Amino acid sequence: MSAEDLSGQWSGEYAYPQGFGPVTPFLAIIEDKGGYISGTIVEPDMIGGETLEALIVGTRGGTGVDFTKVYAPSFSARYSNPVDYVGSVQDDGMTIRGMWSLLDLDGRFEMRREFTREELLEREAEAKVPTTISP
| Contacts (Cβ under 8 Å, ≥6 apart) of 129 | none
Sequential pLDDT tens for the chain (135 residues)? 556 899 999 999 999 887 777 899 999 999 999 999 999 999 998 777 789 999 999 999 999 999 999 998 876 677 889 999 999 999 888 999 999 999 888 999 999 999 776 776 676 677 775 655 555
How much is the pLDDT for 105?
87
**Is pTM beyond 0.85 here?**
no
Domains of the chain: 8-126 (2.40.128.120)
* N-terminal to C-terminal alpha carbon distance within the chain: 43
Please state, in angstroms and rounded to a whole number, the distance separating the CA atoms of residues 78 and 110.
24
How much is the pLDDT for 120?
67
How much is the pLDDT for 79?
82
Question: How many other C-beta atoms are found inside a 10 Å radius of the C-beta of residue 7?
Answer: 18
